[in-house]
Amino acid sequence: MPLDATPAALVDSFGRTVTYLRLSVTDRCDLRCTYCMAEKMTFLPKRDVLSLEELARLGDIFIRRGVRKLRLTGGEPLVRPDVMDLFRDLSRHLKSGALDELTLTTNGTQLARHAQTLAACGVRRVNVSLDTLDADRFRELTRIGNISRVFAGIDAALGAGLKVKLNAVASLGAFEAEVDDLIRFAHARGMDLSLIEEMPLGDTGLDRSQSVLSLRDLEAELAQRWTLTPSRRNSGGPARYVQVAQTGGQLGFISPMSCNFCALCNRVRVSCTGRLYTCMGDEGSIDLRTPLRTSEQATVEAIRAALRTKPERHRFDISRMASPAVARHMSALGG
């Protein structure tokens, strides 16, 4: 297919149009969250990771074919040196109107020193992963983390005028006793909070069947303490939102395990090595690095070939959490 001024949109075999790209810039992270990775990780050699220029070119190719939202992920994207250069490069698509949103998901530890620059690049909101407000439990969950750095990052982002959404992975046990505090903390600062079901990605050394918490069950419990009203809020992702009457804030539920939402999937993910994953809950992927180094047309043909094999739904099953459904760790694609 010749390249032209108005290339065809990216559509899979089930008629779902891709408008959202999650682009990983690194598999490295400065935390070791228990649900995300093993305590001792072997990270990719730098030679295997796409250059910032290659990542920018991939972003360009997807945007020209209808992607309207681009999220940079990791690992932790802000640990990659010079990643702000990539934000500056991609921000031109915001100025041209070709892109509606350029954003990122971060653990917040590096956010204090980058918040102002992100805002200057046209980033308007960020997602910050925060599963607890307790310093000791944060250190236990992340194995090495200091929660004060995350709080400083959140304050800096809000101070820079960025909207912040907190993401918290729900789990049995201590989290259930803390979730009300997370709701109050987020909403008191004008932040949305999304709760996420743990997914069976990669071997972390722990038995997820002992920690996975159905958000369907958790929502029923929360409804006994809070007045939850369905919201029409749509963030462009898989979250389903409710309004919390007592706080006036929004609470999101991302339920890949207990409530499949694949019929509305508009997303693809590219790893920092240039592998395109059309489904987070499936092993299938295709190499984009080789065609990217050949030509744009070869890259587009590879993308369209991958979309023809995009599965109808993911392989996750909440009744089978003891073993990973997918060998790939969450840190490879940033969730």
Question: What are the pLDDT digits (tens) for 211-257?
Answer: 778 899 999 999 999 999 999 887 767 789 999 999 999 999 987 66
Residues making up the binding site: 22, 29, 33, 35-36, 71, 75, 105, 129, 165, 199, 262, 265, 267-269, 279
Predicted confidence at residue 312, as pLDDT, reads 83
Residues making up the binding site for S-adenosyl-L-methionine: 35, 75, 129, 199
11 domain-assigned: no
12 domain-assigned: no
Predicted confidence at residue 36, as pLDDT, reads 79
For β-strands 163-170 and 275-277, DSSP reports them as unpaired
40-to-95, 99, 143 alpha-carbon distances in Å: 42, 38, 10
Predicted confidence at residue 4, as pLDDT, reads 52
Strands (E), the chain: 20-24, 69-73, 101-106, 125-129, 163-170, 192-197, 228-230, 240-244, 250-254, 267-270, 275-277, 286-287
Backbone angles phi, psi at 334, to 5 degrees: 75, 25
Predicted confidence at residue 2, as pLDDT, reads 46
Strand partners, 265: none
Number of domains in the chain: 1
Residues making up the binding site for GTP: 22, 71, 105, 165, 267-269
Tokens 């500056």, residue located: 88
285 with 277: CB under 8 angstroms? Answer: yes
Whether cis (ω within 30° of 0) applies to the bond prior to 75 is yes
Q: Which domain holds residue 203?
A: 20-332
Characterize 297-323 residue by residue with b for buried, 16 or more Cβ atoms within 10 angstroms of its Cβ, and e for exposed.
eebbebbeebbeebbeebebebeebee
41 domain-assigned: yes
Predicted confidence at residue 325, as pLDDT, reads 54
Instruction: Using the Cα atoms of residue 157, residue 81, residue 32 and residue 171 in order, give the sign of their dihedral.
Output: positive
Comparing CA positions, the residue from 121, 107, 101 lying closest to residue 234 is: 101
Helix axes 215-222, 174-188, angle to 10 degrees: 60
Residues making up the binding site for [4Fe-4S] cluster: 29, 33, 36, 262, 265, 279
Q: What are the residue ranges in the chain where pLDDT is below 50?
A: 1-3
What letter would DSSP give residue 51?
P
Q: Which two tokens stand for residue 256?
A: 């890949």
Q: What is the pTM of this model?
A: 0.89
CATH code (residue 254): 3.20.20.70
CB atoms within 10 A of CB 20: 20
Instruction: Using the Cα atoms of residue 252, residue 256, residue 261 and residue 263 in order, give the sign of their dihedral.
Output: positive
263 domain-assigned: yes
8 domain-assigned: no
1 domain-assigned: no
